[in-house]
């Protein structure tokens, strides 16, 4: 199979740096303006932040040696050379300088000899380094459409276009396993939440995550995760992943993780929208009566999961299960082994999850007692296969677990789960309270 790269460009001067890696096939491209004098550059900062200092995939092609590589320009000029200006794993990447004389100009980059692709592959990924976002108004930098050209042993040719995360997820649904589901051009704080197309047509054939980024405030956090659940998406990092560990990261993970494992592996059975009187309508009636604008949604899946989400910005929604504040939500399955609650408790919003993997409790600054435990901060109760429990408190020293049996041993653990010390606890008011240890991150209870 023969590999080539093709890029269709606007008539502006630009340069790009390419490197091809693989698992199946992985293409990474870095793009930047032409520099008067090349200076040795650094790797993408995301790789350093992620601690990825060595390549764990054997490259199919790299640009450490570039003898024999060619570039053909159509409707413009283009040059290719080896460069240290931007790096990924090795010393060099490939730098392309190009100028398009007309709209639709393009160039094709070819290796010295056809490159055999040894294994079947399902995707081609491109890393693009650039200094602009395509949704910004500044168009001083050209935008390039990039593709990879493949040729079979029989001479059949295929062009596989690349696309960036977000924006294009709707018309690539089913062609890719998933993408970021950005919300550019749609205001979810003002526009109605019409979820039918997303849930009925897109999610069964691909998995798109995290509508937008969200703001790292209580209101922004609640809005972000309510949208995620309403559109049946896997969770994403609130505000993006470039943040220090905090209570929003804990809330975002534990409120979504078990719930998404149920709805992401199920098909929707029924979607209803509430009118002003709380009556549930199908989508046609909701649109006809204007009830869609209220954005109060009930979802029922074929595995028995039922989800209620209040997408309204101002009004509470009194459901049969809970009173949902703006951006509140509630979910449960048929046997009660999963309960997800982000709703009002005596007028105060609280969060908790009961699931096979863990229980999560967050009174948001107030003491919250549930059938599974209690805390005035965040408390995670991990359920281990051997029957032991691991309690992880965050932002609190007062917490308890519901158990009928006193633990045989309680061990305080550090961040790496190393033992710090033994500790003890006591039963009070039907709960078992743990005596905290300085420096401990979690507590293992063995029975």
Tokens of 49: 């932040």
For 59-73, 168-182, 344-358, which range has the lowest pLDDT when averaged over its residues? 168-182
- Among residues 80, 138, 85, the alpha carbon closest in space to that of 109 is found at 80
Does the structure show a pLDDT above 90 at 142?
A: no
Q: Above 70 in pLDDT, residue 441?
A: yes
pLDDT tops 80 at residue 123: no
What domain range is 422 assigned to?
357-447
pLDDT at residue 31 tops 80 = no
Task: Supply the pLDDT for residue 57.
Answer: 75
- Region of 104 (left: φ > 0; alpha: ψ -120 to 50; beta: rest) is left
pLDDT of res. 10? 38
Q: Are 96 and 14 in contact (CB under 8 A)?
A: no
Residue 76 in contact with residue 104, Cβ under 8 Å?
Answer: no
The proportion of the chain whose per-residue pLDDT surpasses 70, expressed as a percent, equals 82
Question: Pick the residue with more confidence: 429 or 119?
Answer: 429
Instruction: Please identify, among 100, 130, 151, the residue that sits at the C-terminal boundary of a domain.
Output: 151
Residue 317 lies in a domain: no
Q: What is the pLDDT of residue 144?
A: 66
Could you tell me the end-to-end alpha-carbon distance of the chain, in angstroms, rounded to an integer? 60
Average pLDDT, integer, range 88-99: 82
Q: Which of 401, 408, 395 is nearest to 373 (CA)?
A: 401
Least confident of 4-8, 71-75, 171-175, 366-370: 4-8
Alpha-carbon distance 39 to 390, whole Å? 51
Q: Among 151, 177, 199, where does a domain finish?
A: 151
Q: Note the pLDDT of residue 12.
A: 34
In a domain, residue 266? The reply is no
3-state secondary structure of 340: strand
CA-based torsion, 85, 88, 92, 94: positive or negative: negative
Residue among 249, 258, 192, 204 at smallest CA distance from 229: 258
- Cα four-point dihedral sign 431, 434, 440, 442: negative
Its sign, for the CA torsion 159, 171, 166, 234, is negative
- Judge whether 91 lies within some domain: yes
Of the three residues 136, 151, 166, the one that is the final residue of a domain is 151
Residue 164 is assigned to a structural domain of this protein = no
Q: Pick from 340, 343, 345: which is nearest to 372 by CA?
A: 340
Greater confidence, 380 or 135?
380
Higher-confidence residue of 253 and 97: namely 253
Alpha-helix runs per DSSP H in 235-290? 247-263, 283-289
pLDDT for residue 132 is more than 60: no
Residue 34 predicted with pLDDT over 60:
no
Whole-angstrom distance, CA of residue 250 vs CA of residue 243: 12
Q: What is the pLDDT of residue 37?
A: 56
Encoded tokens for 285: 């009636």
Give me the pLDDT at residue 104, please.
74
Q: Give the pLDDT of residue 240.
A: 67
Residue 56, in any domain of the structure: yes
Q: Tell me the average pLDDT across 26-50.
A: 60
CB 34 within 8 A of CB 151: no
- Indicate the pLDDT class of residue 141, thresholds 50, 70 and 90: low
The answer to whether residue 274 sits within a structural domain is no
Residue 432 lies in a domain: yes
Which band of pLDDT confidence, cut at 50, 70 and 90, is reported for residue 374? very high
Asked whether residue 362 is domain-assigned, the answer is yes
Which band of pLDDT confidence, cut at 50, 70 and 90, is reported for residue 50?
confident
User: Does position 126 have pLDDT exceeding 80, yes or no?
Assistant: no
Average pLDDT, the chain: 83
Number of structural domains (the chain) is 2
DSSP 8-state class, residue 48: H
In this prediction the pTM is 0.76
pLDDT at 296 over 80: yes
Residue in the block written with tokens 């470039």: 242
Judge whether residue 301 has pLDDT over 90. Answer: yes
């Amino acid at each position: 199979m023969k590999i080539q790269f093709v890029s269709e460009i606007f008539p502006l001067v630009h340069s790009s740096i390419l490197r091809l890696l693989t698992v199946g096939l992985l293409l990474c491209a870095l793009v930047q303006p032409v520099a008067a004098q090349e200076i040795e550059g650094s790797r993408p900062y995301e790789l350093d932040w992620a601690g990825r200092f060595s390549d764990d995939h054997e490259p199919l092609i790299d640009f450490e040696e570039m003898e024999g590589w060619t570039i053909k320009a159509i409707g413009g000029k283009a040059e290719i050379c080896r460069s240290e200006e931007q790096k990924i794993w090795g010393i060099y990447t490939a730098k392309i300088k190009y100028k398009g004389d007309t709209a639709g100009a393009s160039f094709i980059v070819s290796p010295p000899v056809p490159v055999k692709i040894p294994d079947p592959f399902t995707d081609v990924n491109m890393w693009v380094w650039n200094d602009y976002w395509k949704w910004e108004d500044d168009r001083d930098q050209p935008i390039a459409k990039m593709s990879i050209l493949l040729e079979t042993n029989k001479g059949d040719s295929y062009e596989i276009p690349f696309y960036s995360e977000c924006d294009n997820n709707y018309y690539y649904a089913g062609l890719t396993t998933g993408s970021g589901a950005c919300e550019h051009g749609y205001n979810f704080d003002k526009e109605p939440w019409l979820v039918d197309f997303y849930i009925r047509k897109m999610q069964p054939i691909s998995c798109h995550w995290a509508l937008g980024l969200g703001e790292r405030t209580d209101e922004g956090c609640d809005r972000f995760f309510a949208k995620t659940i309403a559109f049946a998406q896997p969770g994403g990092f609130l505000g993006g992943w470039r943040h220090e560990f905090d209570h929003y990261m804990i809330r975002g993970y534990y409120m979504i993780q078990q719930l998404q494992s149920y709805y992401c592996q199920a098909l929707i059975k029924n979607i209803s929208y509430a009118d002003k009187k709380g009556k549930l309508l199908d989508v046609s009636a909701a649109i006809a009566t204007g009830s869609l604008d209220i954005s109060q949604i009930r979802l029922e899946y074929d595995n028995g999961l039922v989800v209620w989400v209040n997408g309204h910005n101002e009004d509470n929604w009194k459901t049969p299960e809970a009173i949902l504040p703006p951006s509140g939500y509630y979910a449960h399955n048929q046997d009660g082994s999963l309960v997800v609650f982000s709703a009002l408790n005596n007028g105060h919003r609280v969060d908790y999850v009961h699931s096979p993997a863990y229980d999560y409790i967050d009174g948001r600054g107030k003491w919250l007692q549930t059938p599974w435990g209690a805390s005035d901060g965040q408390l995670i109760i991990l359920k281990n296969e051997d029957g032991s429990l691991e309690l992880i408190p965050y932002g609190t020293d007062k917490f308890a677990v519901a158990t009928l049996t006193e633990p045989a041993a309680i061990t305080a653990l550090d961040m790496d789960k190393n033992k710090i010390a033994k500790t003890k606890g006591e039963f009070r008011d039907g709960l078992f309270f743990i005596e905290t240890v300085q420096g401990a991150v979690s507590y293992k209870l063995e029975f």
